Each structure stands twice: as structure tokens, then as C-alpha cells.
Amino acid sequence: MRLLVLGGIRSGKSEVAEALVAGAGAVRYVATARESTSDAGWAARIAAHRQRRPGSWATEEVGDSPERLAELLTGAKAEDAILVDDLGNWLTAVYDGGGDLSDAPIAALADAVRSCGAGLLVLVGPEVGLGVLPATEAGRAFADASGLLNQRVAAACDGVALVVAGEVSWLRGGDLVQHAGAREAAAAAEPAAARTPEPEPFVFDAAGAGAVLSTADGGDTLSFSPGMELPLPDESTAHEAAERLLTLRLNGAGLGGLVPVVRFAGGVQGRPDPRPFQQPRVLVLRGDRTGGFAAGDSAEAADRRLDEVVEGTGTLAMLAASAGASVQAIDCPSAGPAELHDALDDTGVDAALTLGWRLADAAANEGVDLLVLGACGAGSDAAAAAIVAVLTGAEPAALLGRVVDASGFVDDAAWIRKIGAIRDARHRIRSRSREPHVMLSMLGGGDIAVATGVVLGAASRRLPLMVDGPVAIAAALVARDYGAQTRHWLLMPDHGDNPTVKLAADVLGAAPLLSLRLALGEGATALAALPMVNTALTIAAATPVRAPEAPADAAADDGLSEQERIEVEIQRVVADSPTAEMPYVKPSWED
């Protein structure tokens, strides 16, 4: 767990941070201040901090070597508890030591915090942005750098607290810890035999190679209700990632339509130079239906597609291998005819949501940095169209695409039966609630319920999600009613010209990046686009920044009017053009 404690001078931030690690036993205290023999007041502050530390704590002094802080964090072990006090002194040591005055040391430290393997890491930072603007250039530079440092480290932490007058306000992650020191003090006073052990990460027993998971593997059922508080991507780093592209030494006009990819990755990764996704995972959901929703679809065809996923054959498996993605197959609960009665009961919905949540949670624990949702169930397109039609008021006939049978021919009779079943189902539930749990029970079925749990779980673990088909987009629409933050973690490579996906994506504000119009099954478009997404991120991260160039004759421009400056600049551009020295060739019509 990584925590950042911010506060002003004498706010009590150090005492709060010390209380957070008090119950951890052996603590490594990393002191970042540089000692001074000429400043008695500063020496007294350092002495007070030393006197307050327990004798069992090991102290690491990095004031004279600030670069050691990142090395200590990246080399930490799971049993370590580390307290860093404070980031302001570290920043001062970096700048006063004649080191790199760019943003590079800040980005490197944020990366070290993000990759720190310590069981508990608490960092203390000064909040200098609440006072007046410093009068000196050095003061303003430090305030700007300190604010940027706090943003970067906060994005890499699980929880952020602000301390004012000794009072703690958790800006994020307050559910991870109680009031500073309260939990530790209670644990210390409680007999060891009576203490409740910390919950261990959930592990799927059947998650080996070639295994197919189901709701039976989801463990104890969790509870879901609207109004969930979920995190948001870092909007400031997303903006900085897009702005940074303007400073790169790129050939041509830039990344064009892939700029939103860099912006999205900057927000979900919490860094202005986002990296390519290294460990993507595809979750392939199979949930069949009976009744009119499944008209023209074959359960045998769904079985075959799921078998291909498990065996590593077929289109989806080949695309996953090409993109370097792992694949997990999930057999979701089957659903009854929604035109006659509810597709799932409440217990089935809870179990499916729990399974989806734990799939995302387990993926995050295993280091997965991107999820892709795929689906192959019979009748899933009709169920997704029904949900989108009910939640948006659209006409089902305008949402459901053509039905293509196993031989590749369009089956208009099956399409008519599907539309009739959707209209009958919508009529059956016309007077019932549109609450998300009820929607999944009435129309969704097992695969859409599991997908909804995946969307919620991914957002809770700050895990981005690529969606490209009707099951995933319908689940995202339902998940929005559980927690509105979920839509900000979605990346849509292409809607494939599917009317259900196009409408729901428009409602969610998920703009497609491409227009490939692939029809290879849900999840295939995302996997086909993933290498291009990673290429854009590689270019954005690896391309050097342009060095500012001052014109040699800048002094000659002094005293010119604005219009004269524009004319001079145009002349420079023309002079620098590759065609400036080309000889004039007389065209034939001038003869």
C-alpha cells in the first residue's frame, strides 16, 4: 500500500505519517533533509525529528545523495515498511546539488514509487500551493516543481491525505486506512491470538492453462449497489501527455487520430509519457440464451469458439498471440427466454457480478495492465440490443444488425424473431425499475452480468479496458449506473459499424479511434488495433523533445511591428524550405 501525506508547515503531517507506520514493526525511515552547520534552527528541527523516532527504526540519510531515494524504493521488499520524510527536502537537494533541473527526476521518482514493492510505503510532502505566489524566480520555480511532484507521486499512490491543523482529510483511499494511528493502536492493544488476519488476495483455483472459469470459481458473493465510489484517471497527466506531443521531434504532422490514445494512456497510467501496454489480457465470455433472443444462433458454434480459445486456435487466439495478450475463458450462466420471464434470478446476477469483479481484481494482482473483453454466446447480440433499447429509448429494429448463419448467409427470418422477442421482453418489463441490478436480471443474462462486474472491478483497480462489441458496451452502459466513473476507463478502438455499439458508445462518450469494420467476433477488433495503439505509445514515449531554437538574428527583430514580425517569419520559413534553392523550370505552355 502506497500513501502520500500532504500538509503545510507545522500542519502535523509528519506525525500523521509516523502514526501510519507505527504498527508495522521494523520501519525504514528515509530522511531527505541536508544537514547545515550554519543554521541552528534547521539543525534543531532535524534533531526533533530524530528524537521522536522509535529506537527500533532504521534511518537512511539521502540528503547528500538524493538519487538514492529512487534506488531504495525500487529495491524494497514486500516485508518492508518505509517512511519518506519529506519530498520537499528531496526536491531541494536535487536542485541545490546541481542535478537535472528538468522534470526527469520527478518522473523517475514517481516511477520508483509506482514500482515499489514494499508492503507499506508512506511519503510526506509539503503542500506549497495554498500560499501566495513567491516573489522570486527561484521560489516560483520550486513551487511549480513541488506541485508537479505532488501530482506525479499522488497518481502513483493508493491513498492521498491532506493534513491541516493536525486534522486528517483523505482525498483518496480513505477506505484503505482509518484515522492516522487508530487502527495500529487498536491492533497493538489487542492480544495477538484475537487479531483478525489480513485478507489474502483472491486466487482462482482453476485458472491454469486451458481452464474455463465459471461462477462456481468466484468465491463468496459480493454486494453491488448504485452510487459506488470509484477512482478516475488522472486528468492532469492526460492533458500533459497530449500537450507533450506538441514538443516532440516527430517527422510529419504527428500521430493524427492516435493522439487520443496517448491522452487516454497518460490518464490511466498517471504519467505524461505513457508506456505501451506490456501485459494485456483477453477475457472471453460465453453465455448462451434460449428463446427468441437466440434465433439463428447455434450453441454448438459458441462451444466451438470457446474450445478454440482454450486450445489456442482460431482467429481470436491468433490475434491475442500476435498482440502478446494472455487469454482467459469464462463459461457464464445460461439465461432463459427473456421475452417470457427474467433471464437470471437475483442470486445468479450477484454471482456473475462477483465473478467479473474478481476476474479484474486478479488480473491487476498479476500485473495485467490492460483488459480486453470478448464474447461468443448465443443470443448475446439481442440481449445487448434489448438493454441499450430500454436504457436509451431507441427502437430495437434500428439497433440489431443482420443475422448471419454458420454458413455465412443472412437469415432475415431469424432477425425478425429476435426483434419480436426484444419487443415482447420490453413490453413485459415496461412498468419495472431500470435499476442496474434489475436490468441484468430482466434482460442481461450471465455474460453481460459478468462483463458488468469486470468493468466495475477494472475501474476499482485503475485498469483500462478495451471494448469493441455489443456485450461489452451494454455492460459498460449498465456499469455506468453502478458508478459513473467507469466510462472514463474505457477505450474503444472501433464500433465495427454495429448499431448497438454505435449508440451506446455515443451515450457513454466513447469515441472510436479507427474505422476497420472488422466482423471477426467480439474482442477481435480490439486485439487487431492493440499493436497500433502500442506503436503510438512507443513513439510518444521514445521520441526526443525538440530543443528550443533561438533565431540567430533575433536582435534584428527588435523594434518591428507585429505585422513586420509576421512578414520576417514568413521569409525565414520560405528561406528554410527545401524548395527555396530549386531552379525555376519554365512550363511548356509559356513557350
How many CB atoms are located within 10 Å of the residue 481 CB?
18
In order of 165, 408, 415, 457, the CA distances from 357 in angstroms are 39, 36, 33, 4
Query: What is the C-alpha radius of gyration for the chain, rounded to an integer number of angstroms?
Result: 29
Q: 258: exposed, middle or buried (C-beta count within 10 Å: 0-12, 13-18, 19+)?
A: buried
Grid coordinates representing 99 are 542535478
Angle subtended by helix axes 137-156 and 104-115, to nearest 10: 20
Q: Evaluate whether 62 touches 72 at the Cβ level (below 8 Å).
A: yes
Q: 323: which residues sit within 8 A by CB, 6+ positions away?
A: 280, 527, 530, 531
Q: What is the number of alpha carbons within 13 Å of residue 5 lying toward its C-beta? A: 28
Cβ atoms 461, 305 nearer than 8 A: no
What residue type is 226 in one-letter code? P
Those residues whose C-beta lies under 8 Å from the C-beta of residue 367, and which sit 6 or more positions away, are: 279
- CA-to-CA distance for 360 and 553, rounded, in angstroms? 59
Bridge partners of residue 465, in order along the sequence: 371, 490
C-alpha cell at 490: 474505457
- Could you tell me the three cell numbers for 425? 421482453
Grid coordinates given for 34: 541536508
Grid cell 436509451 in the structure block, residue:
392
CA distances from 78 to 24, 75, 119, 368, 421 (A): 12, 10, 5, 19, 55
Give the whole-angstrom CA distance, residue 330 versus residue 214: 6
The whole-angstrom separation of Cα 351 and Cα 114 is 33
Nearest alpha carbon to residue 212 among 308, 349, 316, 290: 308
Cα–Cα distance between 350 and 479 in angstroms, integer? 14
Extract the C-alpha cell encoding 526.
Answer: 480490439
Per the annotation, the verdict on 522 as an active-site residue is yes
| Grid coordinates given for 488 | 472514463
Nearest to 153 by CA among 180, 174, 126: 126
For residue 370, what are the β-bridge partners?
A: 280
Measured distance CA(517)–CA(84) in Å, rounded: 51
Three-state DSSP class for 570? helix
Cell triple for 195? 487479531
Backbone angles phi, psi at 354, to 5 degrees: -60, -45
Catalytic residue (choose from 229, 522, 564, 581): 522
Name residue 123's beta-bridge partners.
4, 84
**How far apart, in whole angstroms, are the C-alpha atoms of residue 36 and residue 251?**
50
DSSP output for 369-420: -EEEEEE--TTHHHHHHHHHHHHH---HHHH----B-TTS-B-HHHHHHHHH
SS (H, E, C) 132-169: CCCCCHHHHHHHHHHHHHHHHHHHHCCEEEEEECCEEE
**Residues known to be catalytic:** 522
